[in-house]
Structure 1
Amino acid sequence: MPRSIAGIVLAAGKGTRMKSERAKVLHEVFFRPMVHHVLEAAIGASVDRCAVIVGHQREAVCAALAGFNVTPVVQEEQLGTGHAVLCAEQACAGADLVLILCGDTPLIRAETLQAMLDTHCRQQATLTLMTTVVEEPFGYGRILADAQGMVQAIVEEKDATGEQRAIREINAGIYLADRNFLFTALRQVGTDNSQGEVYLTDIVAIANRQGARVEKWCHPQAIDVLGVNSRVELAQAHATLQQRHNRTLMLTGVTFEAPATTLVGPDCPIGGDTVLHGGVRIEGGTVIGRACRIEANCVLRGCRLGDGVTVGANSVLHGGDFSAGTIVPPLTARSAD
């Protein structure tokens, strides 16, 4: 019998390392706020409904969620990740499982979450957490495991000993738990730690004390699950999503002469045998037919190109329809307004 899944996306933090007045989850990664990517991954993994924990700039965050069928839940005080999840207890009523995600992990994939869900159900686990292995684990919670590799607890960076800080397997911040266990355990978590907060990570030790089955799902590609905490990581996330999308287009028959410098929006279909030169930016729902040629450093926004259209180098086109075979001279600047 299929089990119902409620999602909780943690999106209440300010993100001070971003050096920005804007809430962290609203920073755009590959054409949309990073929290949108997280929600789309959850939806793709068959999550039935989602609660989004909001706090800092809650009005702006809620406005950005308007296109999604989610329940905003306000965390009035920032008392830790465990407290944030507790705030969503009512929103998760009736679900069998709860999937907890961070709103600043835009590279997470639906298929990754689905694999974790399948493992949880197959192993009949009470709690499954996602982990990964990194070269530089500074700042992340470390996974404490026994000789058999079973997870015993998670220790946060500020609470870890020197020996524990040498551990390279980290907590990815993604959890799947039986709902009844989750909220019962969170009510037992105290604040006896360096931050004086309710740590979500403490539920691992609680599950072990209760004899519940705790599983880990170790994702081999660390980049997919790491959070965005700075402008540097924001750029890295954008480049990764750009690379993924460009690869998808290349596999459908589109030629990229310089993929690293070519940006194509996810809402812009391109026909096979089209060639994109370097420095091209295509966005705003632009539609490009087959066997077109977009020369270097062009910007196309909201355009429709028929088959066999050539756009000369350094052209900027905002809107407009271009019939099959049209040749747009280099250095053309055109707006449909």
Structure 2
Amino acid sequence: MNTPNISAVILAAGKGTRMKSDKAKVLHELFFKPMLHHVLDTVSATDVGHMAVIVGHQRERVLASLAEPPASYTFSPVIQEEQLGTGHAVLCAESACASFDLVMILCGDTPLIRPETLQAMIDQHLASKTVLSLMTTVLDDPFGYGRIISNSQGGVVEIVEQKDATPEQQAIQEINAGIYLVDREFLFSTLQQVGTDNSQGEVYLTDIVSIATEQGHQVEKFVHRPAIDVLGVNSRVELAQAHNELQIRHNQKVMLSGVSMYSPESILIAPDCQIGQDVTLHAGVQITGASVIGKKAEIASGALLHNCQIGAGAVIGAHAVLRNCTVEEGEQVKPLACCL
């Protein structure tokens, strides 16, 4: 299979009113970086060859965050002067995507999406030879999400929003995850046809599905479970849930490398830390910065370590607070010790 020529369009222009914040939604941090950075990291780990980031609200701050170390993203910034809907946002990226065959569209508020999920969608799309693939998922309570209307062949016929859905359609649990992979020429020619005759006066990206169907195209769906991977972050509650999910994912990797954790849901380890084999971490431990923990060390409950070098076999007492410290091999640090 030939390597696809794909540009990703990442929607990051909105304000995010439900966050109740003066800060743009995509700049809210979880698991050590803004949520938009998590999305760019994921896209960068796939066969996507180019990224266009649509910015609008607080665009100077959003673009500055993508240029600040350690961020080193290569992307094309695209300005959406007025927030006139998702379809309009994608239209703004037409020039940035001009030299690509396919366009992947996703939102900058989906920090839990995994590279392997996007790559599997790309592979399925290329095999199907369709003009449009749409990611879907299934929710026990789909209230508020666009429902997927499918045909007898399993293709997507239409996306019906909550407010427009009949009682029968509202009972559908398969929903639009908001991630698309589209033939570039079809995408931009179709968006030119989408009007703004709706209650919001906006260009709806979802309209490209019904237009594709009307033109006789089979719209493929890529169904992904679990749903949490693809859902957006729209509130502080969902931000905390997403942070916890990334924390647990990282801790699982650390444990599989040979580290013991008691109450891993309470342990926070920054991605740049190195934890040796047979280390034991007790509840409430936080290890941040670029800390290195040597083999067979033990970190007692509630200890906080930042940019520390901990020797093999060392023991750090409960609730010790260490910053920029070196602990020698086999050394014991008393509980409540403080080294700043």
- TM-score of the alignment, normalized to the shorter chain, above 0.5: yes
Distance 2:164 2:203 in 1: 14
Distance 1:47 1:287 in 2: 33
- Per-residue CA deviation, residues 138-182 of structure 1 (Å, 9 max, x unaligned), is 221111112332210112223333332221110000000111111
- Aligned-pair distance for 1:135? 1.0
- Per-residue CA deviation, residues 261-303 of structure 1 (Å, 9 max, x unaligned), is 1011111110010000001111111111110100010111111
**Match of 2:36?**
35
- Per-residue CA deviation, residues 178-233 of structure 1 (Å, 9 max, x unaligned), is 11111111111011222221000000111111122310000021010001111111
**Match of 1:231?**
236
Identify the match of residue 207 of structure 1 among 202, 209, 212: 212
Q: Secondary structure at the match of 1:260?
A: helix
TM-score normalized by structure 1? Answer: 0.97
Identity of aligned residues (%): 61
Identify the match of residue 98 of structure 2 among 88, 93, 107: 93
- Per-residue CA deviation, residues 27-76 of structure 1 (Å, 9 max, x unaligned), is 11111101111111111112111011111111111111112111111111
**Match of 1:13?**
14
**Match of 2:276?**
271
Distance 2:179 2:237 in 1: 22
**Match of 1:62?**
63
TM-score normalized by structure 2? Answer: 0.96
Alignment of 1:108-187 (within 5 A): 108-187=113-192
For these two proteins, the number of residue pairs brought into alignment is 335
- Aligned-pair distance for 1:89? 0.7
Distance 2:54 2:163 in 1: 24
The answer to whether the Cα contact below 8 Å between 2:156 and 2:218 also exists between their aligned partners in 1 is: no
- Aligned-pair distance for 1:320? 1.9
Are 1:195 and 2:196 matched, yes or no?
Answer: no
CA RMSD, 1 decimal: 1.0
The answer to whether the Cα contact below 8 Å between 1:134 and 1:169 also exists between their aligned partners in 2 is: yes
Q: Secondary structure at the match of 2:133?
A: strand
Distance 1:5 1:289 in 2: 42
The answer to whether the Cα contact below 8 Å between 1:75 and 1:87 also exists between their aligned partners in 2 is: yes
Are 1:51 and 2:52 matched, yes or no?
Answer: yes
Q: Secondary structure at the match of 1:176?
A: strand
Alignment of 1:243-262 (within 5 A): 243-262=248-267
Runs (4 or more) in structure 1 with deviation over 3 Å come to none
The answer to whether the Cα contact below 8 Å between 1:159 and 1:194 also exists between their aligned partners in 2 is: no
- Aligned-pair distance for 1:306? 1.8
The letter for the 1-side match of 2:55 is: V
Distance 1:190 1:159 in 2: 17
The letter for the 2-side match of 1:222 is: A
The answer to whether the Cα contact below 8 Å between 1:158 and 1:194 also exists between their aligned partners in 2 is: no
Distance 1:158 1:59 in 2: 35
Q: Which runs of 5+ in 1 are unaligned?
A: none
